[in-house]
Amino acid sequence: QVQLQESGPGLVKPSQTFSLTCTVSGASINSTIYYWSWIRQHPGKGLEWIGYIYYSGSTYYNPSLESRVTISVDTSKNQFSLKLTSVTAADTAVYYCARERLFPHWIDPWGQGTLVTVSS
């Protein structure tokens, strides 16, 4: 059974950078079929896709966040990470990592999510 688990700071100050890590178990991140994604959900709101990475390191980002986002992968640890720079209160959200397949397209499973609060 594939499981994903996010880890990282729960509180970040405005203008700073935060990083989250997703640890994948039950599957190899070296898969040629799947991509590894980050998605966030603002409190009480809908879902916003942030971007994904392939095991080779190629990435694709949501254009609205592209200038501040970096997703990286560590295949030796079966982990991938999200870095978001210059954060503001608008970046307060639950951040999910997930496995994504392009053809057919679906996102599943998801990690349990981790709340990141941006506040001084």
Residue 31 or 75 having the CB closest to other proteins: 31
Query: Which of 18, 35 has the CB closer to other proteins?
Result: 35
Could you tell me where the beta strands, DSSP code E, fall in the chain? 3-7, 11-12, 18-25, 34-41, 47-53, 59-61, 69-74, 79-84, 93-101, 106-110, 114-118
Residues in the site for other proteins, rule: CB under 8 A?
Answer: 37, 39, 46-49, 60, 62-63, 96, 98, 100, 102, 104-113
Q: Which is nearer to other proteins, 16 or 97 (CB)?
A: 97
Instruction: State the nearest-atom distance from the C-beta of 117 to other proteins, in Å.
Output: 16
Cβ(16)–Cβ(8) under 8 Å? no
